[in-house]
Amino acid sequence: MSPANVYNSKTELGDSALKNCEMMHIHGTIKNRDSLVFDLPSYFKNYNDTQLKSFLASVFSDNTILFIGYGLAEFEILEFLFNQKQGESTQSKFLLNGYYSSDSDYYELEQSYYESMRITVIPFCFDERGYDQLGEVVKRWVSILHRVTTSLAVSVREIDEAISEPEPDFLKIFLMLEYKATARKYLFAKLFNAPYPFVWFDELETREYFDPNGMPEPTKNDEGETIIEEWEVIGYLINCTQKNIEIKDESSWERIVKVIDEAINHITTTHLDNYKTDSGMVELIFYLPFSKIKSDWIAYIEYSLNTKSDNTLLSNKLTHGLEKVLLSQHENAKAFLLKVIKLLLQPSQKWMKIVIPIIILEWIAMHLNNFFRNTRSSYQKYLRKMV
């Protein structure tokens, strides 16, 4: 919260009412010792102040109130609540309070006590985490309130601001994403071109966005049409590879390769059939420097070519990837290229067995024409080795 929106006394606030996202410390703050209501004389002085009494009366009359971490033991606060009860105030008041499961009798007594002031007790359980559970409850509420009260336009603006910052407010962004699917898609679309992609890596990893178990599976809509979505982090990882080619951080390569390894292992062991994710993964692989591409990944390329899905998009990404390999100066680039070409020359398991080799050759020629046009001699040499 901005310091400009925090008040340490009613004098600082003046005659204005508190607005949304503003705060007032009615007992002062340690940052300004003169403002502290710390002993009995200062306490009586504070609550005898006409401005403060008027302020509290308006707060309790005009707003829905939620008490958090507050026992309502102060007589002055109880006086306001009692007077409002006498005046039949229509504003709702709630108390968020924790109890152990063995405190049922105590909870019922407190509930009866607070009901006399028209305060509804909202209990949460202390059993597992004690008072630390309060933070989890508040965090959950904030995410729900953000979903209900924040428009998409506001979400887009907040994401745009976060993307452009070297130190984003991650908590605000990820609380918003929990219940806003459209905002989540927008964030990852923006991360594809984010100027500081690596500042997001730890946060995405901690929140398990790289967990391959979260990869989308094909679904059906109400009309029975198949809906296929790409794994949302692929574009972000491509951005990371592009940026790391410039900064050359070896630990970043290790982290990216680890994500790819885990993703490939998940896809092949669970037999996930998602041509958009496969195409994106192949594109990501070939964005890496050739020295970081594992020969083991050729088996994944073979797997993806033999899924039930249409692999037209995949073959297009593969073609552009092989062009990068062919232009690579790495000593193992040609051997890698030869393995992939051999793979492409083998009839796919999903093609009919009567497909003749000439059709396969025409298919390869069509997709690899872009880079073989300028490397005809190398192409011919590779093909001669395969005969």
Tens of pLDDT along 262-303? 999 999 999 899 999 999 999 999 999 999 999 899 999 888
Q: Is the pLDDT of residue 380 over 70?
A: no
Question: Taking the CA of residue 95 as centre, how many other CA atoms within 13 Å lie in the half-sphere pointing to its CB?
Answer: 21
Is 366 exposed, middle or buried (CB count within 10 Å of its CB: 0-12, 13-18, 19+)?
Answer: exposed
144 within a domain of the structure (yes/no): no
Residues 230 and 122 in one domain: no
pLDDT of residue 359: 42
Query: Distance between CA atoms of 117 and 107, rounded to whole angstroms?
Result: 16
CB 228 within 8 A of CB 276: yes
Q: Is 0.85 surpassed by the pTM of this model?
A: no
At 10 the three-state DSSP class reads: helix
Question: Is residue 368 left, alpha or beta, with left meaning phi > 0 and alpha meaning psi from -120 to 50?
Answer: alpha
Which one of 95, 126, 157 terminates a domain?
A: 126
148 within a domain of the structure (yes/no): no
pLDDT of residue 237: 97
pLDDT of residue 106: 85
Residue 101's domain comprises: 3-126
Q: Is the pLDDT of residue 354 over 50?
A: no
At 18 the three-state DSSP class reads: coil
110 within a domain of the structure (yes/no): yes
Residues 328-352 have pLDDT tens digits of 777 788 788 888 777 766 655 554 3
pLDDT of residue 352: 38
Residues 122 and 201 in one domain: no
Number of domains in the chain: 2
Q: Is the pLDDT of residue 173 over 50?
A: yes
Residues 79 and 214 in one domain: no
Non-local (6+) Cβ contacts of 170 within 8 A are: 162, 200, 203
17 within a domain of the structure (yes/no): yes
Residues 199 and 114 in one domain: no
Residues 120 and 218 in one domain: no
pLDDT of residue 266: 95
Residues 203 and 122 in one domain: no
157 within a domain of the structure (yes/no): no
61 within a domain of the structure (yes/no): yes
What percentage of the chain carries pLDDT values higher than 70? Answer: 77
Which one of 92, 126, 160 terminates a domain?
A: 126
Residues 206 and 339 in one domain: yes
pLDDT of residue 331: 79
What percentage of the chain carries pLDDT values higher than 90? Answer: 28
pLDDT band at 3 (very low <50, low <70, confident <90, very high): low
pLDDT of residue 80: 60
Q: Is the pLDDT of residue 361 over 80?
A: no
CB 306 within 8 A of CB 348: yes
Which one of 96, 126, 156 terminates a domain?
A: 126
Choose between 33 and 255: higher pLDDT.
Answer: 255
Residues 103-120 have pLDDT tens digits of 888 888 888 888 877 788
Residues 10 and 96 in one domain: yes
Q: Is the pLDDT of residue 313 over 50?
A: yes
